[in-house]
Structure 1
Amino acid sequence: MTPLLKGIYAAPGGSELLDVLMKYIYKGMASGVPAAAGLKSPAKMTPQSTGFSQIGSRPGVSNEPASAAMSVLLSWHEKLVEVAGLGCIGRTMTDWRRV
């Protein structure tokens, strides 16, 4: 993971690309919060008749728990901050453009 991120960072415009990647990581974290964690689920998500919410893991993965998907996102977040620095978080949080 780190060599890939370092390669992107070294390319022209790489810092901006990593900032966009960070936006997608945060978007994944926001949509993958399980309702059982005591947090209110997003308004556009409705419970299915089985009682489970529509918030799920990665597409195509039917039996992966939400915590495993969050673990993957946190792993990418850690490596991305390691390569791009803490400024990546600040730029992502203050940028008005959304993904």
Structure 2
Amino acid sequence: MEVNFRKIDIDQYDEDALLYNELYDTDPRDPAQALDDTKQNAAAVRGSLARNDYVGALTLVLENAPYGPNVEEAKNLNLQTLVTILNSTKGTDIPGIVKALSADAQDTLMKYLYKGMALPGWGDVSGSVLLGWHEKLTEVAGTGCIVRAMTDRKLV
């Protein structure tokens, strides 16, 4: 019997091995509740965009963003809602909007920008929009925002 030793999971024999789900707390909401909350936020965002309240719309999307492995549908809907906000914002308004966000919201926005850039073909948003937001966010929040977004295990 031949066994390919490169395919053996040696961590199964180590009692002290750190599992992926032990690196961070998962979203405390169940997937259905997270999806309902995200749908309600999406409706509230449409209302905020109608009033040209971009800071309020971004705050709704970023403050209670779903994270973790079990809420994929809610995460995708939240990303689509964020892309709608990014596309409807004028480039001259971006620095003021970013300055009005809290530090945690800025970090979450950076995570979403990188998630949007990781989509094949950039999804529903053009690269210039994402890169413009990235540039303005980095100017306001500094490079520490990039480091925190890349090292945080709470994936959006």
Q: What residue number does 2:108 align with?
A: 20
2:130 corresponds to 1:73? yes
- Which of 124, 131, 137 is the equivalent residue of 1:57? 124
Give the structure with the larger helix fraction: 2
Distance 1:85 1:98, change over 3 A: same
Higher RCO (CA 8 Å, separation ≥ 6 residues)? 1
Report what 1:96 is aligned to.
153
After TM superposition, give the deviation of residue 78 of structure 1 in Å: 0.2
User: Could you tell me how far apart the structure 2 residues matched to 1:88 and 1:21 are?
Assistant: 9
Q: In structure 2, what residue type is equivalent to 1:97?
A: K
In the superposition, the TM-score normalised over structure 1's length comes to: 0.59
Letter in 2 for 1:87: G
Aligned CA-pair RMSD: 1.4
1:4 to 97, 100, 105: 97
Task: Provide structure 2 residue ranges, at least 5 long, that are not aligned to the other structure.
Answer: 1-93
Q: Taking structure 2 as the reference length, what is the TM-score of the superposition?
A: 0.38
* Higher radius of gyration, 1 or 2: 2
Shift of the alpha carbon at 1:23? 0.5
CA deviations over 1:53-75 (Å, ceiling 9, x no partner): xx7424xxxxxxxxxx1110000
Q: Sequence identity, in percent?
A: 52
Residue in 1 aligned with 2:25? none
Gaps (5+ residues) in structure 1?
9-13, 35-54, 59-68
**Structure 1 runs, 4 residues or longer, greater than 6 Å off:** none
